[in-house]
Amino acid sequence: MSTSPDASDISRTTVAVIGAGRLGGVLANALKRAGFTVAGPLGRDDSVPASDIALLCVPDAEIATAARNARPHATLLGHVSGATPLDDVDFSMHPLQTFTGAETPEVFLGIGAAIAGRTPHAAHAAEQLARALGARPFHVDDAHRAGYHAAASIASNLVLTVLDAAEQVARAAGIRSDQARELLAPLVTRTVENWRTHGASAALTGPIARGDEETVARQREAISEQAPALLALFDQLCDSARTIATPKGSA
């Protein structure tokens, strides 16, 4: 792979995408659109063609095996895992996005992509792939990889547990689940935008931000009666909110 990429370099670069899961198919299509010559997404039992790059889009536990199988056929070997170190590959490129498998190639435009390489050449290859997809590469070394991925999981996977809890409580209050999601989504969207712009402390509103513990107590009583399985989560979230709260007037 050339160390000074341009459109002609990309068109001569062959990439084998190994793994046909949620990310593999979307990534293969996006790389094709970017101008790479792409094989795949390949299944785990498919033969790997000779390629400049083999990109592993397999579960973390299968990376070592997939890497051994692909190594003889690729000049550079990379994975797209956020948490796995570079023990078995030359580089990593982790798209900082959630995927269902139904996305179009534009899903990569403007997102972050955590990259790392065992050599400067491998790191450059990861950066080139990310930029060709329209993503914004940033470096995360092996020592910080698990922590970075934990941050991503909190921001995506664990946020869903909070949203699901809100949906359950709304349902217990007589609001249908589909209606609750429709009604709460604008609130969630605005909250995330405020957090992005100002940070959690400045974005926090509501009774905890106002120091209105009487209202919090009424909320807690309702959850205790209508959705008791969520009470421990509610208490923990309220405690966490209190640690970031700053004095505010009416929210």
The pLDDT of 12-38, averaged and rounded, is 94
Residues 34 and 117 in one domain: yes
Please give the share of the chain, as a percent, with pLDDT higher than 90: 91
The CA distance from 191 to 216, in Å, is: 19
Domain membership flag for residue 54: yes
Helix (H, G, I), strand (E, B) or coil at 110: coil
- Write down the pLDDT at residue 45: 82
Q: CATH number, domain at 188?
A: 1.10.1040
What are the start-end ranges of the H helices in 46-141? Answer: 63-70, 120-133
Residues 104 and 16 in one domain: yes
- Write down the pLDDT at residue 251: 45
Q: CATH number, domain at 107?
A: 3.40.50.720
Last residue of a domain, which of 85, 119, 140?
140
- Say which range, 5-14, 72-81, 144-153, 198-207, has the weakest mean pLDDT: 5-14
**Greater confidence, 46 or 11?**
46
pLDDT of residue 10 exceeding 80, the answer is no
* Residue 213 per-residue DSSP state: H
The pLDDT of 115-121, averaged and rounded, is 96
The CA distance from 69 to 54, in Å, is: 10
Cβ contact 115:141 at 8 Å: no
- Write down the pLDDT at residue 111: 97
The CA distance from 16 to 53, in Å, is: 6
The CA distance from 174 to 90, in Å, is: 54
Residue range of the domain that includes 176: 147-244
Domain membership flag for residue 250: no
pLDDT tens, residue by residue, 121-166: 999 999 999 999 999 999 999 999 999 999 999 999 999 999 999 9
Length of the chain: 251
pLDDT of residue 116 exceeding 70, the answer is yes
Domain membership flag for residue 41: yes
The pLDDT of 104-112, averaged and rounded, is 95
- Write down the pLDDT at residue 11: 65
The CA distance from 170 to 39, in Å, is: 47
